[in-house]
Amino acid sequence: MAAQGLQLRCSIDRLGAMGFLEVVRTVPRHLGLLRSLTRNARAGRYALAILIDYPGFHLRLGEALRRAGVPVLQYVAPQLWAWRPGRLPRLRRAADRLAAILPFEELWFRTRGMACTYVGHPLLDRVWPSREEARRTLGLPPGVPVLGIFPGSREGEIRRNWPLFRDVGRRMLAEGRTAHVVVAGTAWGYYPDQDRFVVHRSQPELVFAAATAGLVKSGTATLEAACSDMPMVVAYRTQRSTYLIATRLMTVDRISLVNLVAEADVVPEFWHPPVAAAPVADAVRPLLDERSAEYQAQRAGLAAVRGRLGTPGAAERVADLALELFAC
């Protein structure tokens, strides 16, 4: 957006944080930005607001903007269907309309009195490299099993998930299931005891495309794997206290977006503690054999998921919704 001439009031790099103390330190910046944008709205500087994701801040901002008479389009619906649906009244106050990126969200919100339109998932606009191209770029041989590991992008996620993901990769190497384990790492991530792994710190789409199968942290990465046609096992480790709190707030019994979109168990999930390496490895093992029934069944399930994600052009459809709201 900046490349197209958008004036940046505050970079997301200055707002994002990981860890309790880091989040607390960003509160003054968030409050200052909220006050500034609210003053501008009251002064009549904004004819329309398009708020993209980031619900923790945008629910507050949306409420302030609408009180100032600015219509609000929220692009990417907060996942109230998964946890804390009691926030719905606040969302109604914060947005005139939702642009949803998951197929079941439109009906969920509309039946609860919220104007919502399904626009398709923006991942469908991404161009994925072929397996041959990705392996050539990564220096991997063709025609052999490759395990991709995706432990997350946040420091806390990596710290919790890495020992599990590393141990599963070690088992696959020791058993001869693969001779190549590639980690989709971040530029700053710490991955101790990598053994014979290759850590690729940029362009994770290359790892998705190159891998025969993957071990993936829950989140958008599971949909990225589906779009790249990579069979996977989903795993996520969290603290016991966090797990107990989350399960009390959750209204769904699956955590993988692939399974939620499919409304079926397409990929194995491991998130109920303790999440141990042995059962996760048991689920990964058959996926490294392209002739296995598990591999073939999952590819068919992933194709069905891609079909449910809509068609390319999500951004254009959001722009059309914005123009409609602007004209009202």
Model confidence over 249-280: pLDDT tens digits?
Answer: 788 888 899 999 999 999 999 998 889 999 99
- The residue-averaged pLDDT of 192-213 equals 95
In terms of domains, do 254 and 232 share one?
Answer: yes
CATH number of residue 79's parent domain: 3.40.50
| Cα 77 to the center of its chain, rounded Å | 13
Angle in degrees, 0-180, between the axes of helices 155-174 and 277-284, rounded to the nearest 10? 60
**Both tokens assigned to 289:** 């054999």
Confidence of residue 13 (pLDDT cuts 50, 70, 90): low
Specify if 89 maps to a domain: yes
pLDDT of residue 65: 97
Q: How far apart are CA 77 and CA 186, in angstroms?
A: 27
Percent share of the chain, pLDDT over 90: 77
In terms of domains, do 113 and 262 share one?
Answer: no
In order of 10, 90, 152, the CA distances from 32 in angstroms are 10, 21, 30
Model confidence over 112-125: pLDDT tens digits?
Answer: 999 999 999 999 99
> Of the candidates 275, 172, 70, 126, which has an alpha carbon nearest to the alpha carbon of residue 183?
172
- The residue-averaged pLDDT of 65-93 equals 94
In terms of domains, do 220 and 82 share one?
Answer: no
In terms of domains, do 231 and 86 share one?
Answer: no
In terms of domains, do 59 and 166 share one?
Answer: no
Specify if 266 maps to a domain: yes
Residue 301 has, within 13 A of its CA and on its CB side, a CA count of 24
Percent share of the chain, pLDDT over 70: 96
Three-class SS state of 283:
helix
In terms of domains, do 83 and 195 share one?
Answer: no
In terms of domains, do 146 and 259 share one?
Answer: yes
In terms of domains, do 148 and 272 share one?
Answer: yes
Residues whose CB is less than 8 angstroms from the CB of residue 6 and which lie 6 or more positions away in sequence, other chains included: none
> Of the candidates 42, 33, 43, which has an alpha carbon nearest to the alpha carbon of residue 10?
33
Residues whose CB is less than 8 angstroms from the CB of residue 167 and which lie 6 or more positions away in sequence, other chains included: 277, 281
pLDDT of residue 185: 96
Q: What average pLDDT is seen over the chain?
A: 92
| Structural domain total, the chain | 2
pLDDT of residue 20: 45
**Structural domain of 115:** 26-31+46-120+313-327
CB 206 within 8 A of CB 182: no
CATH number of residue 186's parent domain: 3.40.50.2000
Q: Which string of DSSP letters, residue by residue, matches 113-167?
A: T--EEE---GGGGSPPPPHHHHHHHHTPPTTS--EEEE--SSHHHHHHHHHHHHH
In terms of domains, do 278 and 138 share one?
Answer: yes
pLDDT of 198 strictly over 80: yes
- The residue-averaged pLDDT of 154-183 equals 95
In terms of domains, do 108 and 184 share one?
Answer: no
Predicted TM-score (pTM) of the model is 0.88
Specify if 1 maps to a domain: no
- The residue-averaged pLDDT of 239-247 equals 76
Specify if 320 maps to a domain: yes
Q: How far apart are CA 294 and CA 284, in angstroms?
A: 10
> Of the candidates 78, 76, 87, which has an alpha carbon nearest to the alpha carbon of residue 118?
76
In terms of domains, do 72 and 209 share one?
Answer: no
**Both tokens assigned to 324:** 């409609």
Query: 5 in the Ramachandran plot: left (φ > 0), alpha (ψ -120 to 50) or beta?
Result: left
Specify if 12 maps to a domain: no
Specify if 37 maps to a domain: no
**Both tokens assigned to 267:** 């990929």
Specify if 5 maps to a domain: no
CB 325 within 8 A of CB 73: yes
Model confidence over 139-160: pLDDT tens digits?
Answer: 999 999 999 999 998 888 899 9
Peptide bond into 78 cis (omega under 30): no
Specify if 8 maps to a domain: no
Query: 310 in the Ramachandran plot: left (φ > 0), alpha (ψ -120 to 50) or beta?
Result: left
In terms of domains, do 112 and 241 share one?
Answer: no
pLDDT of residue 253: 84
